[in-house]
Chain A
Amino acid sequence: MKVRYRALHPFDKEAEERHIQEDHGLHPYDEYLKPGRIPHIWCPGCGLGIVVTAFIEAMKQKNVPVAQSAVVSGIGCTGRVAGYLDMDTYHTTHGRAIPFATGLALVRQDLIVTVFSGDGDLFAIGGNHLIHAARRNVNLKVICVNNFNYGMTGGQVAPTTPIDARTSTTPFGNAEPSFNLPHLAHAAGAVYVARWTTYHARQLVHSISQAFDKKGFTFVEVVAPCPTGFGRPNKLGSGLDEMRHYREVCEVRNGADPSEVEIRLREKIIVGTFVDVERPDFMEHYQSLVVARAQAKAKSKGKGKAA
């Protein structure tokens, strides 16, 4: 068997570009991916690729134009999504994906701004930003990939690590209760809250495309396997074993009370669309309260001067 890879000469720019062009476009989803970036760095068995695929598929189904969409991501394994998608993407500092996206969504209201980030980025260092963006109901689509640990830095304990789970910094088991992300997002005021696992790929596509239609702060949590950081210390097996585990333990319960959907290690995971309500978003309030009053005041002032 012949194995040849990259007939590249050093400093041969043309050969490198030719290689990128040859490798790009083999897959129909490649039109949404930057040339030369695939294969990505995520581990074999990681679920992040499935979330990216589901996002692309939802964009395709909803006919969201690439020119009208922007993706903002923070730091971490999930933060690298911004480097792979071929659209307006921004890779922000740690935890500051939502502040950047808030500014972008307020200035450019024609854009569909998606925040694509991990649990450590959105809920640990960026938790404050997330709850306030949800309170203001800024027009953002947040996709939070939850792998229960800080995967990129070596599997340390995160605010989403279930109680009694082992990580590299909690070798005797985690003593802290974890965040219940849908409950937190709902309590802060998100208008659309859903949770799926990477095993529920079709439902995830449907959920993301529903989120594209909603106006306001939507939150989709995706439970993803992390065989390297979380699966190994907890003896959950490979990524495939974790997917089989999701198939066995997940229970779809649409409209469930978000306070009852906490995840515990090796126990039932309740998935589904939990919250889908209508609420005026930030710009509506701002237009009706601040802008309208300021314009009225300016008009009356102008009249006074003329008279």
Chain B
Amino acid sequence: MRFWRLPLDAEHHSIPRGEVHIIDNRCKGCGFCVEFCPNGCLRESKRFNVKGYHPPEMVYGAEEDCGDCGLCSLICPEFAIYTQLKEAKKITEDDIQKVTTRYSRKDRRYAKKR
């Protein structure tokens, strides 16, 4: 799917870019954030924390994808992850193409898993 022009109200909207903060040593490795991140930004890391669990980490190359929705901080039972607004970006033509590629990448990621 391709958008052939910018939406007419593009000036009134912005794309929030979030920054994910993970407090490693609080994590108990339940995997809720990894499963329910709507943009597929997180994955289970291979390193251990002090309790012996694998805390989450950003998927390589997904640093720009976090939309600061805050679902990970809401669904984390351990108060171990939160997001902060990094910048509110203006919408450009490139961003619209990026959105479509982002979702297709997530689909591929899920297809591999199953």
Q: Which 5 pairs between the two chains have the least Cβ-Cβ distance? A: A49-B77, A44-B28, A5-B50, A201-B74, A45-B30
Bound-state Cα–Cα, A50 to B26, Å = 14
- Mask for B70-105, Cβ within 8 A of A = 1, else 0? 010111111110100000000000000000000000
Contacts of A50 in B (CB 8 A): 32, 74-77
- Mask for A197-228, Cβ within 8 A of B = 1, else 0? 01101100100000000000000000000000
Check A49 against B82 for contact (C-beta < 8 Å).
no
Q: What total of chain B residues lie within 8 Å of the partner, measured CB to CB? A: 24
A39 is contacted by which of B28, B73, B74 (Cβ under 8 Å)? B28
Interface residues of A in 113-162 (CB under 8 A from B): none
For chain A, which range describes its interface: under 10, 10 to 19, 20 to 34, or 35 or more residues?
35 or more
Contacts of A46 in B (CB 8 A): 77
**A30-B79, A38-B79 as given contacts; A3 in contact with B74, CB under 8 Å:** no
Q: What residue of chain A has the Cβ atom nearest to residue B29's Cβ?
A: A44
Whether, in the assembled complex, B47 has its beta carbon less than 8 Å from a beta carbon of chain A, the answer is yes
Q: What residue of chain A has the Cβ atom nearest to residue B79's Cβ?
A: A27
Bound-state Cα–Cα, A38 to B22, Å = 15
Q: What residue of chain B has the Cβ atom nearest to residue A40's Cβ?
A: B78
- The smallest C-beta distance from B32 to any residue of chain A, in angstroms, reads 6
**A39-B28, A244-B35 as given contacts; A53 in contact with B77, CB under 8 Å:** yes
Check B74 against A44 for contact (C-beta < 8 Å).
no
Bound-state Cα–Cα, A243 to B25, Å = 23
Contacts of B76 in A (CB 8 A): 49-50, 53
For B29, B71, B78, the residue with the greatest tally of chain A CB atoms inside 10 Å of its CB is B78
Whether, in the assembled complex, B23 has its beta carbon less than 8 Å from a beta carbon of chain A, the answer is yes
Interface residues of B in 50-71 (CB under 8 A from A): 50, 53, 71
Q: What residue of chain B has the Cβ atom nearest to residue A33's Cβ?
A: B79
Bound-state Cα–Cα, A55 to B29, Å = 22
Check B82 against A27 for contact (C-beta < 8 Å).
yes
**A28-B82, A38-B79, A53-B79 as given contacts; A239 in contact with B30, CB under 8 Å:** yes
**A29-B79, A33-B79 as given contacts; A240 in contact with B74, CB under 8 Å:** no
Contacts of A48 in B (CB 8 A): 77
- Mask for B5-39, Cβ within 8 A of A = 1, else 0? 00000000000000000010110111110011000
- The smallest C-beta distance from A241 to any residue of chain B, in angstroms, reads 10
Contacts of A199 in B (CB 8 A): 36
**A3-B48, A27-B23, A243-B35 as given contacts; A201 in contact with B75, CB under 8 Å:** yes
Name 12 interchain pairs, CB-CB below 8 A, sorted by A: A5-B25, A33-B79, A38-B79, A44-B30, A47-B77, A50-B32, A50-B74, A50-B75, A201-B71, A201-B75, A240-B31, A243-B36
Whether, in the assembled complex, A1 has its beta carbon less than 8 Å from a beta carbon of chain B, the answer is yes
6 further A-B contacts with Cβ under 8 Å, apart from A28-B82, A53-B75, A240-B30, are A5-B25, A26-B23, A27-B79, A44-B30, A48-B77, A239-B32
Contacts of B48 in A (CB 8 A): 1, 3
Contacts of A1 in B (CB 8 A): 47-48
Interface residues of A in 1-49 (CB under 8 A from B): 1, 3-5, 26-30, 33, 38-40, 42, 44-49
Contacts of A26 in B (CB 8 A): 23, 26
